[in-house]
Structure formats: C-alpha cells, structure tokens
Structure 1
Amino acid sequence: MLSRLNPLTTLAASGAAIALTMAASNWPVSVAVAAAVLAAGTGAGVMRRVLAASAVILLPLWFSLLVLHGLFFPEGRIVLAGWGPARITVEGLAFALEMGTRTTACVLVLLLFSFVVNVADLVAMMTTRRIPPQFGYVLASTLTLAPAITDQLSRIRQAQEARGLVLGGSLLQRVAAARLQMVPLVLALIQEAAERAHALDARGFSSPGPRSTYREVADSRGQRTFRRAVLGLAAAAVILRLCASWFGVPVLPSLSAGNA
C-alpha cells in the first residue's frame, strides 16, 4: 500500500510525523508514532527489515541513555539505588525514557520511509515540482548510500576470499579482515562518486533552465490534500511548541515533570 503512494506523500507524512514527535516531546506520543510505524511496516511487508536496521542503531543508543542519564543524572532527586557517584534516580530514568522513545520513533519513521519509497519516482516528482536538483540528488544519494555500500562490500569480500584471504575465525581475525576491507571500500566509493559527477555534468545537471522527466508518477487530488493537511498540522505543532517554550508552558505534561 505505501509503495503505491506518491513519493511526496510518504515524504510529507514522514516529515510531519518527525515534526510532531519532536514538538510534543512526550513519551506517549513517541510510543504512538512508533506503533503506527510498525503497523504500517507490517502492512507494507518491510517490518523485518525495519526492525533489523533499527536494532543496530537503537540498542547502543538505549544502552548509552540508561548509563548516562539513568546513573549519572545531575538533577535527580528521588534515588532508587546508589553506588558512590552512580545513582539510579526516577528523574534520570524518566529523561532517558523520553529521549529514547522520541529518538526511536524518529529512527523508525526514517527507516520505513527509506524502505518503501521509490527513489527514481521521488526524484522525478521533485523535478516536476521545480525543486532544486541538488536537493533531489542529495536525498536520493542518501537513500541509496546504504545499499551501495552493502553491494560494494559484498563484492570486495568475495574478491578477497577468492584470493585466499581468511575473513572468519576469532574476533581479532575478523577485526583485521574488516580493516583490510575498509581501504578498498573507501577507494571504490570515491571512484564511484567521481564517475557520478562526470555523468551528471554530461547530462547538464548544473545547467539552469526548466527540466523534465520521462517518468510519469501518479498523484491524486486526495494525496495532495493529505500532504497539505499533514504539513499544516506539523507547522502548527512546531509553532505551538515555540510559543510554549517562550512563555515557559509545557505543550504536554512530561514524565519527568510529573515526578518533580
């Protein structure tokens, strides 16, 4: 379902979800956004890929948040347990929970968008909307960077194994093998970037004037209305957040504030 939507629709929905999450700065809102993303990922059939990629990013993040804020939160008052300078406080755990859920929701939104969007259609839509081509190229390169690195690393690994290099074994052997793979990987990415630059110049990427695309991407009136609505809602949430911060009034009650 998500893959059949216009790329600008999924982009607007993703941006609005992140803006609402950051503006609310409230863990129930973050949990609701994360749950909605997981439900959408299940419907799109990319749930397993989203969870696998998010685990690599979020597990170290949650660990660092619990260590830094759960044990060494300077504003903590309600102490649950203590070992010298390290203290588990209610305020520290609440801050780690709010920060972790907020970041988790944003990461899940971005990963879901990257897995369901058609990059070629997205660039084509940006071209028809007269968006600067540099922005479209940066966005498309970002979305295709991880698959490009994975494919390049797989080719390097296969070439090294064909020459008799042992890439398995103990942890030290794996670290040494990874070091040997990094140099050709970086050189290959630099060479690919130079080739892309020459190809873009040959196609008049930096030339001024109107542009066109041969790709026809469906875009209904309902989707255009939806994009305006979610972007307006996100803008209103950001404005409300800014006004609340100026006057010192919380937009939504936070967990740490409730325990203060």
Structure 2
Amino acid sequence: MRVHPLTGLAVAGSTAVITTAAASLPLSLAVVAAALGVSGVTGTLRRLLPAAAAVLVPLAMSLLMVHGLAFPEGSTVLAAWGPARITSEGLAFAAERASLLSAVVLVLLAWSFTVSIPDLVAVLSSRGVRGRLGFVAASTLTLLPAIADRAVRIRQAQESRGLVVRRGLLHKVAAFRLQAVPLVLSLVDDAGTRAAALEARGFSSTGPRTNYRVVPDPAGQRLLRAVLVLAAAAAVAARLWPAGTGG
C-alpha cells in the first residue's frame, strides 16, 4: 500500500513534536535509530547522512561549547580553564539536546527524501493550495539534492579543464570561490527558466483547476493522521500542564 504524502508528513511531524515534548534521551535515540532504519530500507541513507551531518555537526558543536563549558547548574567539574568549566552535567545536557535535535532533523529529512514530489504537488493542489505555493513547497524538498548535484558537476567540469585543488585551507577556499560563482549563476538562470515554465503551464491562473494525477487517500490513513495529530497535541499539553499548574 502506497503511503499518502500527508500521512508521511503526519508521521514525521507528530514524531518530531512528541520527541521534543518528551525530551527523553532513550526516546530520542530510538527515533534516530528508526529514522536511519527507514532510510536504509528505502535506499536514501547515502543521501540522508551528508544532509544530516551538514545540519547537525554545527549544532552539536555549538551545544557542546555552550553547555559543556558554561553550564551554570553543573557541580561535577571534570576540567577547568579560568571561568570555563567542563562539567558532567553540562555534557549530559548537551548530549540530551543534541540527540533531541538529531531525532527531529533525521525524521524530517527521512520523510523529505522518501516522499513522492509529484504526489505531494497533486495533493496540495487538491487541498486548495495555489499552484505556485505548492510548487515552492515541493521544490524546497529537492533544493539541497539539486544544489549538491550541480556543485559536483561544476567541480568535475573545472577539474577536466585543469583545476587542481591542493591541500590546505587557503587552496580549498580559493577553489570553493571558483565553484560558488558558477553555481549561484546557474541557480539564478534555472530559477528564471522554471518561472517561465510555470507561467506557461498556468500556475498563476486564478480559475478552477483540475488534477491529472490522482493520489489515493484510504480512510485508514485519514484516521491515522487524525490520531497522530491528537497524539502530538496531547504530548504538548502533557508537557505544558505541569508548568501551568506549578505557576
């Protein structure tokens, strides 16, 4: 049975909300394992890992620097350099937050790499979303892979013309500048081409629209989406209720 795009979005979104509301390290690790497992089964793991690393590595490093070195509630000091202190409580807090962010990012990326973009556009159009907005929402999911593929082709073309990237940070920065300029220019040109194509297909028309592509939406999946939304709302309420009563 084919999974409806909104059902996949409901699963990913509710999982992210429930994991954030629970703020539990075991649950976050379980969600991370589940997201990696789903990506492995669907064959998107090789694309998922670089994208997740680009997002999570800077976030994890910032959490480690902020909470690992300057955690005010930390009492078990592992090392100290002047005002900076590494505490076990700070490291534990940073690890918990890093796992939580990893779970949220991975589950959303897993959905974005497995959803069918044509089905998503058709569903958004059938739900009354205007054509341009639906196309922008769907194109966002394919933007990062498209940029990565374009950058690889630009680098290969430059290397075939004799570009040699030497070791060292300065040489890599110079090579990145040479690759960034044609990448940006090609993306701007591609945006103009897509805009003309959308205009030719009547995406800006305000009249009634029909969909050539029909995406089945079984009753069981509609019920599942409603249950997932209610579960996410209940998790948020359970998280906020003690804070409200305590205040």
Answer yes or no: same fold by TM over 0.5: yes
* Deviation readout 1:13-42 (Å, 9 max, x if unpaired): 111111112222232322222222223223
**What are the residue-to-residue correspondences of 1:141-180 with 2, within 5 Å?**
141-166=139-164, 168-171=165-168, 172-180=170-178
Q: Distance in 2 between matches of 1:173 and 1:195?
A: 34
Q: 2:89 is paired with a residue of what secondary structure? A: helix
**What are the residue-to-residue correspondences of 1:47-196 with 2, within 5 Å?**
47-166=45-164, 168-171=165-168, 172-196=170-194
RMSD, matched Cα: 2.2
Q: 2:85 is paired with a residue of what secondary structure? A: strand
Which residue pairs with 1:254 in the alignment?
Answer: none
Which residue pairs with 1:235 in the alignment?
Answer: 233
Gaps of 5+ in 2: none
Please report how far the alpha carbon of residue 224 of structure 1 lies from its aligned counterpart in structure 2 after TM superposition.
1.4
Q: Distance in 2 between matches of 1:213 and 1:244?
A: 47
- Classify 1:135/1:29 alpha carbon distance in 2 versus 1 (closer, same or farther; 3 Å): farther
Q: Distance in 2 between matches of 1:151 and 1:50?
A: 14
- Classify 1:210/1:16 alpha carbon distance in 2 versus 1 (closer, same or farther; 3 Å): farther
- Classify 1:162/1:187 alpha carbon distance in 2 versus 1 (closer, same or farther; 3 Å): same
Equivalent residues, number? 246
Please report how far the alpha carbon of residue 54 of structure 1 lies from its aligned counterpart in structure 2 after TM superposition.
2.2
Q: Distance in 1 between matches of 2:11 and 2:131?
A: 22
Q: Distance in 1 between matches of 2:157 and 2:66?
A: 42
* Deviation readout 1:168-201 (Å, 9 max, x if unpaired): 2222323211111111111111121122222222
Q: Distance in 2 between matches of 1:131 and 1:241?
A: 32
Q: 1:217 is paired with a residue of what secondary structure? A: coil
- What amino acid does structure 1 have at the position aligned with 2:213? R
Q: Distance in 1 between matches of 2:85 and 2:194?
A: 53
Q: Distance in 1 between matches of 2:104 and 2:133?
A: 21
Fraction of identical pairs, as percent: 54
Q: 2:216 is paired with a residue of what secondary structure? A: coil
- What amino acid does structure 2 have at the position aligned with 1:156? I
- What amino acid does structure 2 have at the position aligned with 1:150? A
Q: 1:5 is paired with a residue of what secondary structure? A: coil
Q: Which runs of 4+ in 1 moved over 3 A?
A: 132-135, 242-245
* Deviation readout 1:189-223 (Å, 9 max, x if unpaired): 11211222222223222322332221122322211
Please report how far the alpha carbon of residue 134 of structure 1 lies from its aligned counterpart in structure 2 after TM superposition.
4.1
Question: TM-score, with normalisation over the residues of structure 1?
Answer: 0.85
- Classify 1:124/1:70 alpha carbon distance in 2 versus 1 (closer, same or farther; 3 Å): same
Residue 25 of structure 2, aligned match among 24, 27, 51? 27
Q: 1:81 is paired with a residue of what secondary structure? A: strand
Question: TM-score, with normalisation over the residues of structure 2?
Answer: 0.89
Residue 212 of structure 1, aligned match among 210, 213, 220? 210
Alignment pair present for 1:246 and 2:223? no
Please report how far the alpha carbon of residue 48 of structure 1 lies from its aligned counterpart in structure 2 after TM superposition.
3.8
- What amino acid does structure 2 have at the position aligned with 1:226? L
